[in-house]
Chains A and B, each alone.
Chain A
Amino acid sequence: MNKTLKNPLVYILFLLPTILLYCLFMGVPVIQAFYYGFTDWDGLNPHIFNGLENFKEAFSDSDFWFSLLNNVYFIYFSIVIQLPIILFLALLISQVKRFKAFYKTAVFIPSILSTAVIGILWGFIYEPDSGLLNQFLALFGVEKIYWLSDKNTAMISILITNAWQWTGFYIVLILAAILGIPKDLLEQAEIDGATTWKKSTQIIIPLINPIIIVVMLLSIAGAMKALDIVWVMTEGGPFGTTDVMATYMIKEAFREYQYGYGNAIAVLIFIFTLLITGIFQWITKNKERIEY
């Protein structure tokens, strides 16, 4: 039996079904997207190879660049605004003595809800006439804001909703890392007179740095492929101002029947995501890693 388990062929055998499924549902579509990205195809009639035309069109398409910019907003919001909140809340919950499990569950709930539910839920909150947010702001004399239909507020409204959905998931990740730090280490710091602020900034955060980097990576990858929340809340509207690359791809492919161009955009999303995550990993890989 032991000899059998030492044979790599056994492992390959067990992995084979998964590998086959992965290739079928991940590998083949990606290859197909690359292939059709180089064609002029309306989805119905035979496709015609047109070289780099779709990619040239994308690079000179201001709407595509605009949608990319919205993806960058997603990244910016995740890293600069959402991450500090995640860290703060995770540190806060880690210090709580009672009902810790309740807080963990409470913050995690949004991430198990479907995006459609969240989109509708926040649609009610943002409703201009009777929505919770406007009613609350009205208490302070703030005039009615048309959150999802005003081009100045639609994007930030989506970003807040998206952050609300995923903050809990990342908090739980970071919380697990914080709770994994040996207690004696923190007790020693307390004996040495470290305040909560110093403990957090000089001991806890440096120690959980690898997890923070993972959270940042997941945020970047999630931001680059953002689609569902935008589609459910605004469908890219008003007039395309909240379009991200994926919604723009859908519109080009399915609404305008430019499947070739849509595939080219899909390829560009793939390449841009690889590039950005690659650059991020390269920047963070040389950071000093503190072991305990």
Chain B
Amino acid sequence: MKKLLLIVLMLTFVSSIVLSGCGTDSETSTEDTPTDTAEDKTKDEPVILDEADKQEPVTLTLRHTQIGEGKQSRLVLLEDAVADAESKLEHVTFELEAVDHEVNRFDKLPAEMAAGNQPDIFDLFGGTDTIRYAKADRLLPLNSILDELGLTDQFIELGEFTVDGEIYGLPIGGFTEGYFYSKPIFEELSVEPPTTWAELENIATKSKEAGYVPFAMAAQGAWVPMMTMNTLVGHSAGPDSIQGLIDGTHKWTDPEIVNAFEVLQDFVAKDYFKQGSLGLDYGEQRNQLITGEAVMMFDGSWTSSVFTDPEQAGDMLGDVGYFGMPGVPNGVGDQTAVNAGFSNGYGFSSSIADDENKLTAVKQFIQSMYNEEMQKRGLIEDNVIPSMKVSNLSGVDPLMSEIIEVMNSAGGAFPAIDGVVQAEVNTILGEGIQRILGDDVDPLEMLEEVQQIQEKANQEQ
């Protein structure tokens, strides 16, 4: 009898745990994610939602990477766009989640994509990232939405977010890369922004003799020195060379590409970078320029907002200029070509397609985020090159004007290497560039290894 009682007790205990677990689950889903209910309803009864259903609270997760002082202006813009979207759809809430750019791009988002639980809206890179996720059906196709919102022709360039004719992401802005420089130090050294490689070398030599670091560098993240290499390769081997590495028309071991890496090696040999740069985080790079330790810095146009913000720029406010990298000796193609593109923006989870309420919210978010006013504000407040056509460009910061001028006078553009080559090539290349900075490898030897990986990756594609 006692045994029977014990068994009954045990069964009651275990089943109560299981049942209570189930009970909480369904309760939570009703309270926390009411959209699920709507989703279920839609699945069960494929009818058009009535007004009452549409007003049910909807929460969308929004992953952004606007962390730190340097991205404060961009965060304000995002928050304003979200507030605008929420005011227009009162039942919608966007839950913002801030994640470091590198963590999001290289660790968190790939893991979430693998598990299929990516946020509803997230910071996304064009090129290989978008291709990868689009082919695995993790991204929401946007062609019909853009058509519906009348935005299809409003973007300058969507190529990096387009896969097989379908658009999967919207760039928040454009970028170009070049040299930022300290105007006071240039004045002190009696030099002008260089137009030839010899002039650049001359400034570097003079800077070093005067006790400055010629080029700011913080290479803990391989993508930072890769920016310099990107333009060196584009100039030395021609604007088409980077895409040619995938097509097989160019090799990493081509003399022109090897030459580009030897330039970097030469910079290292001449101590043009700060010692110990391999242990420095990206933010340290601009600090070297702001504190007057370094004279020039190769970086993306997005950094310009730092130099126009009194709090961040300090004494260097208004004292930073910009010029494009001069052509390298024996370079192929137009030497004024720049690394430029529209590669960073927002992508949307493919799961949204099944949820009419979320889809409506996403459409509103796109409208609130991607419009002429926000693009203009991005340009003025955050110094980001607009990704959409903006009719009035007045009121632009002088530094931004210099950047736009370099872009306008460029004889062409080439893409970012890390947006073109495969992930495994990117890893080995990044490590190779860091090894050159650490004076640990011969460029040709390193590039032979990269080429092997490149060929293997091209075959597997």
A residues apposed to B, CB below 8 Å = 3-4, 7, 9-10, 13, 16-17, 42-45, 126, 128, 144, 146-151, 154, 234-235, 237-240, 250-251, 254-259
Contacts and interface: CB of A to CB of B under 8 A. Distances in A.
Interface in B266-303: 275-280
A181 to B, nearest CB: 45
B427 interface: yes
B17 A256 contact: no
A235 B100 CA distance: 15
A235 B2 CA distance: 60
Contact of A238 (B113, B132, B434): B434
Interface string B415-435: 000000001100100011011
Contacts of A3: 2
Interface residues of B, number: 34
Contacts of A9: 6-7, 10
Given A7-B6, A43-B110, A149 B277 contact: yes
B113 A17 contact: no
A148 to B, nearest CB: 4
A215 to B, nearest CB: 32
Nearest to B434: A239
Nearest to A154: B279
A236 to B, nearest CB: 9
Closest 4 CB pairs of A and B: A149-B279, A146-B276, A44-B136, A43-B114
B332 to A, nearest CB: 29
B106 A254 contact: yes
B427 A238 contact: no
A239 B10 contact: no
A146 B277 CA distance: 9
B107 interface: yes
Given A3-B2, A238-B434, A240-B431, A255 B106 contact: yes
Contact of A254 (B10, B107, B135, B435): B107
Interface of B: 2, 6-7, 10, 13-14, 17, 106-107, 110-111, 113-114, 132-133, 135-136, 138, 220, 275-280, 423-424, 427, 431-432, 434-435, 438, 440
Nearest to A236: B431
Nearest to B114: A43
Nearest to B439: A151
A8 B313 CA distance: 71
A44 B132 contact: yes
Nearest to A45: B136
Contact of B275 (A42, A144, A251): A144
Interface centre among A10, A13, A149 (most CB of B within 10 A): A149
A254 B111 contact: yes
B13 A146 contact: no
Nearest to B7: A9
A25 to B, nearest CB: 15
A17 B17 contact: yes
A92 to B, nearest CB: 35
A238 B441 CA distance: 13
Given A7-B6, A9-B6, A237 B132 contact: no
A42 B73 CA distance: 36
A89 B330 CA distance: 65
Contacts of B427: 251, 255-256
A132 B438 CA distance: 24
A150 B276 contact: yes
A15 to B, nearest CB: 12
B103 to A, nearest CB: 10
A250 B108 CA distance: 12
A150 B278 CA distance: 8
A16 B138 CA distance: 38
B278 A238 contact: yes
Contacts of A146: 275-276, 278-279
Given A16-B14, A44-B114, A151 B423 contact: no
B50 to A, nearest CB: 37
